[in-house]
Structure 1
Amino acid sequence: MSVKENGTYGPGPATVDVIFPCLDEEEALPWVLRRVPPGWRAIVVDNGSADASAEVARGLGATVVSEPRKGFGSACHAGLLVATAEVVCFCDCDASMDPARLTDIAGPVLTRETDLVLGRRRAERGAWPLHARLGNTALSLLLRRRTGLRLRDLGPMRAGRREALLGLRLTDRRSGYPLQMVVAASDAGWQIRERDIPYLPRTGKSKVTGTWRGTWHAVRDMRAVLRQPPPAPAESPSAAQNKRADTS
């Protein structure tokens, strides 16, 4: 599937890789992988699963990457390093987010309307525990103080350009990875946008935000990211594109 000049999608070479960090998700994977948009490649990063997640993913046609170093960020970045498409998406593989909605998330990146798109979760009843929601709200406020961005969610479904994301030189390998991506992108002057997505009750037991302890660890990791000084800025994808156009 490729994006046409008018922003619609049609047959053509795959332009998007979808990265799924995975830890013991064999129950959810069949539904998740069958919802990936046609023509897009699913990259499942097995982060030390004790179940048959890797075998299930391979059987469903996904590219499977093994990342033994524990941590959400480790899995996400391993997928980014393996990806080859111009645009990459990130999505949880616990069935709480519908990969079919990734066309809405990736669309503005494919058409170069913006640099990074985040899925803003609109939760169904019972899908988002109160402690996780409160933690997300607190971090959004801290992010606003740090960057000026008025984002209402820091959810993991997102899309950006692969080379530009690598240029951010992200270093967090735990739960702070998604936040560090947003902070670094803001520091680099990227255009960042939110789009609503449904947030569904997950399949199986949560490893992070399903418990108070998991939420506390995630918030701790993310607060550490916000305390870091800004790195040398990477050029925004939009600015780089304009520079190439001016010199051609």
Structure 2
Amino acid sequence: MNKIKVIIPAYNEEKAIANVIRDIPNCVSEIIVISNNSTDNTITVAQNAGATVLSENRKGYGYACLKGLEYISKQEIKPDIIVFLDGDYSDYPEELTKLIAPIVNDNIDFVIGARVARLREKNSMTPQQVFGNWLATFLMKILFKATFTDLGPFRAIKYDKLLALNMEDKTYGWTVEMQLKALKQKMSYVEIPVRYKNRIGVSKISGTVKGTFMAGIKIIGWIFKYTYK
């Protein structure tokens, strides 16, 4: 039996987070929500929905993910699989079973939930998100012979493999850093097509010009950093 934990970074997601937690399959042993300096009722709502809730006051997606991993590292019994999931209800949490299947059944190290066009709700990804994903994965294909098509945040990875990546990005580059390091360490990986819908609330990254620009800079920076490593 594989022990699975879910890490959900959340910034002001009081309207969405209970839905996310509710739809996560029962095979998960612990749902860990990291409130990333939320100013609304995200913490209370997530606790009432049954999640373990941590607080990380330093703003940044990577900071929140690292906080969750720090918490897990102090537990006596470690998980076999970590699943990362956004707190805005744009993913379908029930598809977690699809994401972990290649790890459980085929011993794959790392699985990305790919937000393919045919399964995306209209306008669920902005044009800049679509272009950014295309550019990043195109560069990874050219430079590293990767087969990624998406930087989707809904992803599953073996816990020991995740530790081996020694993740360090604190903000927008977390997802691409994970993919680049998995490539460098020659981990096995696959993409699983997943559905994607319009999020509840406004995106903190793609919903702002500054967020989009900073994310783009960080992602491209990580790719070129690893090109010359």
Matches within 5 A, 1:159-178: 159-178=156-175
Matches within 5 A, 1:1-248: 2=1, 15-40=3-28, 41-83=30-72, 84-122=78-116, 123-229=120-226
Post-superposition shift, 1:110? Answer: 2.3
Distance 2:226 2:22 in 1: 41
Distance 2:179 2:70 in 1: 18
Instruction: String of CA shifts for 1:93-114, please: whole Å, max 9, x gaps.
Output: 1010011101100111123431
SS at match of 2:195: strand
Question: Which stretch shifts more, 36-45 or 199-208?
Answer: 36-45
SS at match of 1:216: helix
Distance 2:50 2:206 in 1: 29
User: Counterpart in 2 of 1:246?
Assistant: none
Post-superposition shift, 1:138? Answer: 0.8
More helix by share: 2
- Which of structures 1 and 2 has the bigger CA Rg? 1
Task: Structure 2 unaligned segments of length 5 or more: list them.
Answer: 73-77
Whether the 8 Å CA contact 1:87–1:110 is kept in 2: the answer is no
Whether the 8 Å CA contact 2:180–2:226 is kept in 1: the answer is no
TM-score scaled to structure 2, two decimals? 0.91
Identity of matched residues, %: 32
Higher-RCO chain (CA-CA 8 Å, sequence separation at least 6): 2
Instruction: String of CA shifts for 1:117-141, please: whole Å, max 9, x gaps.
Output: 0000131112111111111111111
RMSD: 1.6
Distance 2:44 2:104 in 1: 31
Post-superposition shift, 1:147? Answer: 1.6
Distance 1:106 1:119 in 2: 10
Whether the 8 Å CA contact 1:126–1:201 is kept in 2: the answer is yes
Task: Structure 1 unaligned segments of length 5 or more: list them.
Answer: 4-14, 233-248
- Structure 2 vs 1, CA of residues 231 and 48 (structure 1 numbering), >3 Å: closer, same or farther? farther
Question: Which stretch shifts more, 74-83 or 96-105?
Answer: 74-83
The residue type equivalent to 1:27 in the other structure is K
SS at match of 1:227: helix
Whether the 8 Å CA contact 2:143–2:227 is kept in 1: the answer is no
Post-superposition shift, 1:231? Answer: 9.9
SS at match of 1:51: coil
SS at match of 1:198: coil
Post-superposition shift, 1:180? Answer: 0.5
Post-superposition shift, 1:82? Answer: 2.1
Distance 2:125 2:226 in 1: 31
Give aligned pairs, total: 220
The residue type equivalent to 1:106 in the other structure is I
Distance 2:182 2:217 in 1: 21
Question: Which stretch shifts more, 144-153 or 113-122?
Answer: 144-153
The residue type equivalent to 1:81 in the other structure is E
The residue type equivalent to 2:200 in the other structure is T
